[in-house]
Amino acid sequence: MPIPEDVTGEEIDKDVRQELQSLPKTLAEDVARNLVMVARLIDEDPEGAYGYSRVALRLASRVAAVREAAGFAAYASQKYGEALAEFRAARRMTGNVDLWPVMADCERGLGRPEKTLDMAGAPEVHKLDKAGQVEMRLVAAGARRDMDQLDAAIVTLQSPELASGSVQPWTARLRYAYADALLAAGRDSEAREWFAKAVEADRDGSTDASDRLAELDGVEFTDALDENGTNDEPVESDESDESDESDESDESGDNGVIGENGESGDADPAGKD
């Protein structure tokens, strides 16, 4: 697969670069460049990222960072069975538990929420850092919802992290998930409160909490341009022309009313274990 000339491979994380030092220099550079492309494309073009990950995997399948990258690319492409296999391989190589929540979410993607809940109660969860434990909580709540256990999902999300007033990288997503679960349970007033709290914490726009809040408040957004690409607001008439026409009308004895110029068109309505 083609790689832009500006991609050197030096852009990757230093820990990954260190892992690649076990490979011959030229091979390490090729793998690194493919991993850079995976990182560049995974959000906007998951299938493209998946393609580059397969190249990296073919070149260096015994490097844990490569297996992990391949797992995330497959996960982003909703190839959950393949993603789970790659994550398991990476975990066997490193003994690291960081991938536990995303592995559990793969089980959800494969239609096995019961397995997800088993993983949520496993000893590995206690070895996760705070961010990992919050992620595991989000995944477990999702599994509860998959099983139509809304009340249990709500309880799962209730935690010290949810109640905390400090804003952490996970805060907006946790509050959003809680609000969404409340809304699904018909608790609209509480849901609105928590969507508002999610908006307060969502500093980088990682959720659509503001849109959900506006929807609950009955706010409708319209495009500033109509379907013909013209401004939706009426065009004001020129005062001098209006004055001239008025003078002509007076001279002829016509007392007719001059209408506004321009037409108003219909406006088009205005968007992650």
Distance CA 16, CA 9 (A): 11
| pLDDT computed for residue 128 by the predictor | 97
| pLDDT computed for residue 1 by the predictor | 86
| pLDDT computed for residue 41 by the predictor | 96
| pLDDT computed for residue 225 by the predictor | 54
DSSP SS3 for 215 = helix
| pLDDT computed for residue 220 by the predictor | 73
Distance CA 97, CA 94 (A): 9
Kindly write down the DSSP assignment for every residue of 32-84, as one continuous string.
HHHHHHHHHHTTT-HHHHHHHHHHHHHH-TT-HHHHHHHHHHHHHTT-HHHHH
Token pair 């949810």 is found at 162
| pLDDT computed for residue 157 by the predictor | 97
Of residues 197, 268, 189, the one with CA closest to residue 227: 268
| pLDDT computed for residue 227 by the predictor | 52
Reported as type and span, the H/E element at residue 267 is strand 267-269
From residue 50, how far is each of 4, 40, 66, 98, 174 by CA, in Å? 17, 11, 12, 21, 28
Of residues 273, 42, 261, the one with CA closest to residue 135: 273
**177 close to 157: Cβ distance less than 8 angstroms:** yes
Token pair 């990682």 is found at 206
Digits of tens for pLDDT over the chain (273 positions)? 899 989 998 899 899 999 999 999 999 999 999 999 999 999 999 999 999 999 999 999 999 999 999 999 999 999 999 999 999 999 999 999 999 999 999 999 999 999 999 999 999 999 999 999 999 999 999 999 999 999 999 999 999 999 998 999 999 999 999 999 999 999 999 999 999 999 999 998 899 999 999 999 888 766 555 555 555 444 444 444 444 444 444 444 433 333 333 333 333 333 333
